[in-house]
Chains A and B, each alone.
Chain A
Amino acid sequence: MIHAQARLRVVSALSMLREADRVAFPRLQEILRMTAGNLSVHLRKLEDAGYVEVTKTHRGRTPATLVRLTRRGRLAFEDYTAALRALLDPQEES
Chain B
Amino acid sequence: MTPLDDDVPLVDPAESLRLIERQRAEAERILTPDPRLFLWPWGVAWLVGFTIYFLRFGPDNRVFVDMPSWVPLLVLMGLIIAAGITTGVYGARTGRHVSGPSSEQGLMYGITWTVAFAGTSIVLGQVSELLPDDKLNLLWAGVMVALTGALHMVGGAMYRDRYLFALGAWVSLINIVGVIAGTGWHSLILAIGGGGGMLVAGALAWGRLRK
Contacts and interface: CB of A to CB of B under 8 A. Distances in A.
Given A7-B7, A68-B100, A88-B14, A31 B27 contact: yes
| B-side interface mostly | helix
A4 B7 CA distance: 6
Interface stretch (B17-25, B129-137, B179-187): B17-25
The size class of the interface chain B forms with chain A is 20 to 34
A9 B16 contact: no
B5 A4 contact: yes
Contacts of B103: 21
Contacts of B9: 3-5
Nearest to A33: B26
12 contacts: A1-B1, A3-B10, A4-B7, A5-B7, A5-B10, A12-B23, A18-B101, A20-B101, A21-B99, A27-B31, A68-B100, A84-B16
Interface of B: 1, 3, 5, 7-10, 13-14, 16-17, 19-20, 23-24, 26-28, 30-31, 96-103
Interface of A: 1, 3-9, 12-18, 20-24, 27, 30-32, 41, 45, 49, 59, 66, 68, 81, 84-85, 87-88
